[in-house]
Amino acid sequence: MFVSPFLQYGIQEKKEPVAETCQLAVHRLEWLLSADKLAADESTAKNPYCSVDPAPPAVRKSVPELRQALLNESLPLFERYRAMFALRNLGSEEAVLALAAGLQCSGALFRHEIAYVLGQMQHPAAVSNLCAALERSSENPMVRHEAAEALGAIGKEECLAVLERYRQDGERVVKESCEVALDMLEYENSDQFQYADGLVRLQG
Protein backbone atom coordinates (compact mmCIF):
# COMPACT_ATOMS: atom_id res chain seq x y z
CA MET A 1 0.00 0.00 0.00
CA PHE A 2 1.24 3.49 -0.87
CA VAL A 3 1.57 5.69 2.19
CA SER A 4 2.04 9.41 1.74
CA PRO A 5 5.57 10.53 2.65
CA PHE A 6 3.93 13.14 4.86
CA LEU A 7 2.29 10.36 6.93
CA GLN A 8 5.53 8.39 6.96
CA TYR A 9 7.34 11.45 8.27
CA GLY A 10 4.61 12.09 10.82
CA ILE A 11 4.86 8.57 12.24
CA GLN A 12 8.52 9.25 13.01
CA GLU A 13 7.69 12.61 14.59
CA LYS A 14 9.02 12.95 18.13
CA LYS A 15 5.87 14.70 19.31
CA GLU A 16 3.63 11.86 20.50
CA PRO A 17 0.19 13.27 19.51
CA VAL A 18 1.41 13.95 15.95
CA ALA A 19 2.94 10.50 15.59
CA GLU A 20 -0.18 8.81 16.99
CA THR A 21 -2.46 10.82 14.69
CA CYS A 22 -0.44 9.71 11.67
CA GLN A 23 -0.51 6.09 12.86
CA LEU A 24 -4.30 6.27 13.12
CA ALA A 25 -4.53 7.80 9.66
CA VAL A 26 -2.44 4.99 8.16
CA HIS A 27 -4.52 2.31 9.89
CA ARG A 28 -7.73 3.95 8.68
CA LEU A 29 -6.43 4.01 5.11
CA GLU A 30 -5.46 0.35 5.41
CA TRP A 31 -8.93 -0.47 6.73
CA LEU A 32 -10.66 1.44 3.92
CA LEU A 33 -8.55 -0.31 1.29
CA SER A 34 -8.92 -3.79 2.77
CA ALA A 35 -12.52 -3.69 4.02
CA ASP A 36 -15.44 -4.80 1.92
CA LYS A 37 -16.98 -1.61 0.46
CA LEU A 38 -20.46 -2.51 1.69
CA ALA A 39 -19.15 -3.07 5.23
CA ALA A 40 -17.40 0.30 5.10
CA ASP A 41 -20.58 2.03 3.91
CA GLU A 42 -22.66 0.35 6.63
CA SER A 43 -20.14 1.44 9.25
CA THR A 44 -20.50 5.04 8.11
CA ALA A 45 -24.29 4.80 7.94
CA LYS A 46 -24.50 3.68 11.58
CA ASN A 47 -22.80 6.86 12.77
CA PRO A 48 -25.63 9.05 14.11
CA TYR A 49 -23.32 12.09 14.19
CA CYS A 50 -22.40 12.04 10.47
CA SER A 51 -18.77 12.80 11.37
CA VAL A 52 -15.70 11.45 9.60
CA ASP A 53 -14.03 9.50 12.38
CA PRO A 54 -10.38 8.37 12.55
CA ALA A 55 -11.51 4.76 13.03
CA PRO A 56 -14.64 2.74 12.20
CA PRO A 57 -16.73 1.52 15.14
CA ALA A 58 -16.16 -2.00 16.41
CA VAL A 59 -19.07 -4.33 15.63
CA ARG A 60 -21.11 -6.89 17.55
CA LYS A 61 -19.66 -6.25 21.01
CA SER A 62 -21.30 -5.53 24.36
CA VAL A 63 -20.59 -2.41 26.43
CA PRO A 64 -18.41 -4.35 28.95
CA GLU A 65 -16.37 -5.82 26.06
CA LEU A 66 -15.98 -2.43 24.44
CA ARG A 67 -15.00 -0.84 27.76
CA GLN A 68 -12.36 -3.49 28.28
CA ALA A 69 -10.91 -2.85 24.82
CA LEU A 70 -11.06 0.92 25.28
CA LEU A 71 -9.03 0.81 28.49
CA ASN A 72 -6.57 -1.88 27.40
CA GLU A 73 -3.41 0.11 26.72
CA SER A 74 -1.63 -2.95 25.32
CA LEU A 75 -3.99 -2.97 22.30
CA PRO A 76 -3.17 -0.96 19.15
CA LEU A 77 -4.56 2.56 19.39
CA PHE A 78 -6.68 1.97 16.29
CA GLU A 79 -8.54 -0.90 18.00
CA ARG A 80 -9.15 1.21 21.10
CA TYR A 81 -10.54 3.97 18.90
CA ARG A 82 -12.87 1.46 17.27
CA ALA A 83 -14.20 0.61 20.73
CA MET A 84 -14.52 4.33 21.48
CA PHE A 85 -16.70 5.07 18.47
CA ALA A 86 -18.82 1.96 18.99
CA LEU A 87 -19.56 3.14 22.54
CA ARG A 88 -20.37 6.63 21.30
CA ASN A 89 -22.79 5.27 18.71
CA LEU A 90 -24.59 3.19 21.35
CA GLY A 91 -25.35 6.39 23.24
CA SER A 92 -26.51 4.83 26.52
CA GLU A 93 -25.54 6.04 29.99
CA GLU A 94 -23.57 2.82 30.47
CA ALA A 95 -21.62 3.63 27.29
CA VAL A 96 -21.03 7.22 28.46
CA LEU A 97 -19.59 6.03 31.78
CA ALA A 98 -17.37 3.52 29.99
CA LEU A 99 -16.03 6.31 27.79
CA ALA A 100 -15.54 8.65 30.73
CA ALA A 101 -13.23 6.08 32.33
CA GLY A 102 -10.94 6.65 29.34
CA LEU A 103 -10.19 10.16 30.62
CA GLN A 104 -7.85 8.47 33.10
CA CYS A 105 -5.82 6.63 30.43
CA SER A 106 -2.36 7.65 29.33
CA GLY A 107 -1.94 9.44 26.02
CA ALA A 108 -3.16 13.01 25.62
CA LEU A 109 -4.44 12.38 22.09
CA PHE A 110 -6.62 9.52 23.37
CA ARG A 111 -8.03 11.55 26.28
CA HIS A 112 -8.64 14.48 23.92
CA GLU A 113 -10.70 12.23 21.61
CA ILE A 114 -12.66 10.83 24.56
CA ALA A 115 -13.61 14.37 25.60
CA TYR A 116 -14.58 15.16 22.02
CA VAL A 117 -16.95 12.19 21.64
CA LEU A 118 -18.50 12.92 25.04
CA GLY A 119 -19.26 16.38 23.70
CA GLN A 120 -20.86 14.83 20.62
CA MET A 121 -23.07 12.66 22.82
CA GLN A 122 -24.19 15.61 25.01
CA HIS A 123 -25.13 13.22 27.82
CA PRO A 124 -25.35 14.72 31.33
CA ALA A 125 -23.76 11.59 32.83
CA ALA A 126 -20.42 12.83 31.45
CA VAL A 127 -20.47 16.21 33.22
CA SER A 128 -18.60 15.31 36.41
CA ASN A 129 -15.77 13.57 34.56
CA LEU A 130 -15.42 16.39 32.04
CA CYS A 131 -15.33 18.94 34.86
CA ALA A 132 -12.57 16.95 36.55
CA ALA A 133 -10.55 16.92 33.30
CA LEU A 134 -10.93 20.68 32.88
CA GLU A 135 -9.99 21.32 36.50
CA ARG A 136 -6.75 19.28 36.36
CA SER A 137 -4.03 21.90 35.95
CA SER A 138 -1.54 19.13 35.08
CA GLU A 139 -3.73 17.92 32.20
CA ASN A 140 -2.64 18.54 28.60
CA PRO A 141 -4.19 21.81 27.33
CA MET A 142 -5.76 20.12 24.29
CA VAL A 143 -7.63 17.72 26.61
CA ARG A 144 -8.81 20.58 28.82
CA HIS A 145 -9.86 22.47 25.67
CA GLU A 146 -12.03 19.56 24.48
CA ALA A 147 -13.47 19.04 27.96
CA ALA A 148 -14.51 22.70 28.09
CA GLU A 149 -16.19 22.59 24.68
CA ALA A 150 -17.91 19.32 25.57
CA LEU A 151 -19.37 20.95 28.70
CA GLY A 152 -20.63 23.81 26.55
CA ALA A 153 -22.22 21.33 24.14
CA ILE A 154 -23.96 19.46 26.98
CA GLY A 155 -25.33 22.81 28.08
CA LYS A 156 -26.54 21.93 31.56
CA GLU A 157 -26.65 24.48 34.37
CA GLU A 158 -24.03 22.58 36.38
CA CYS A 159 -21.54 23.18 33.54
CA LEU A 160 -21.82 26.94 33.92
CA ALA A 161 -19.92 27.41 37.19
CA VAL A 162 -16.84 25.45 36.16
CA LEU A 163 -16.67 27.17 32.76
CA GLU A 164 -16.97 30.58 34.41
CA ARG A 165 -14.17 29.63 36.81
CA TYR A 166 -11.75 28.71 34.03
CA ARG A 167 -12.58 31.42 31.51
CA GLN A 168 -9.58 33.34 32.88
CA ASP A 169 -7.26 30.32 32.85
CA GLY A 170 -3.57 31.03 32.26
CA GLU A 171 -3.54 28.60 29.33
CA ARG A 172 -4.84 30.56 26.34
CA VAL A 173 -6.45 27.61 24.53
CA VAL A 174 -8.33 26.67 27.72
CA LYS A 175 -9.41 30.26 28.39
CA GLU A 176 -10.73 30.71 24.85
CA SER A 177 -12.43 27.31 24.85
CA CYS A 178 -14.30 28.22 28.03
CA GLU A 179 -15.42 31.48 26.43
CA VAL A 180 -16.68 29.59 23.35
CA ALA A 181 -18.34 26.97 25.56
CA LEU A 182 -20.15 29.65 27.58
CA ASP A 183 -21.43 31.18 24.33
CA MET A 184 -22.63 27.72 23.24
CA LEU A 185 -24.30 27.15 26.58
CA GLU A 186 -26.01 30.54 26.50
CA TYR A 187 -27.29 29.92 22.97
CA GLU A 188 -28.57 26.40 23.69
CA ASN A 189 -30.52 27.73 26.66
CA SER A 190 -31.88 30.74 24.77
CA ASP A 191 -35.45 31.17 23.57
CA GLN A 192 -34.14 31.36 20.00
CA PHE A 193 -32.53 27.92 20.21
CA GLN A 194 -35.52 26.35 21.98
CA TYR A 195 -37.80 27.69 19.23
CA ALA A 196 -35.53 26.41 16.42
CA ASP A 197 -35.09 23.05 18.14
CA GLY A 198 -38.85 22.72 18.52
CA LEU A 199 -39.33 23.33 14.81
CA VAL A 200 -36.77 20.66 13.95
CA ARG A 201 -38.55 18.17 16.22
CA LEU A 202 -41.93 18.97 14.67
CA GLN A 203 -40.56 18.55 11.15
CA GLY A 204 -38.90 15.25 12.15
Measured between alpha carbons, how far is residue 180 from residues 34, 88, 176, 186 in Å?
40, 23, 6, 10
At residue 191 the predicted structure's pLDDT band, cuts being 50, 70 and 90, is low
Give the residue extent of every domain in the chain: 34-189
Question: Would you identify the CATH topology of the domain 34-189?
Answer: Leucine-rich Repeat Variant (1.25.10)
Most confidently predicted of 23-32, 143-152, 189-198: 143-152
Give the rounded percent of residues in the chain with a pLDDT score beyond 70. Answer: 80
Residue 68 has pLDDT above 90, yes or no: yes
At residue 86 the predicted structure's pLDDT band, cuts being 50, 70 and 90, is very high
Instruction: Give alpha helix (H) positions in 15-126.
Output: 16-34, 37-45, 63-71, 77-90, 93-101, 108-121
Instruction: Please give the angle made by the CA atoms of 112, 117 and 122, to the nearest 5 degrees.
Output: 125
DSSP state of 57: P
Residue 66 has pLDDT above 80, yes or no: yes
Predicted TM-score (pTM) of this structure:
0.82
Per-residue pLDDT tens digits for 137-181: 999 999 999 999 999 999 888 899 999 999 999 999 999 999 999
Give the pLDDT of residue 12. Answer: 45
Give the pLDDT of residue 29. Answer: 85
At residue 197 the predicted structure's pLDDT band, cuts being 50, 70 and 90, is very low
Element (H, E) at 182: helix 172-188
Q: What rounded mean pLDDT belongs to the chain?
A: 85
Per-residue pLDDT tens digits for 104-135: 999 999 999 999 999 999 999 999 999 999 99
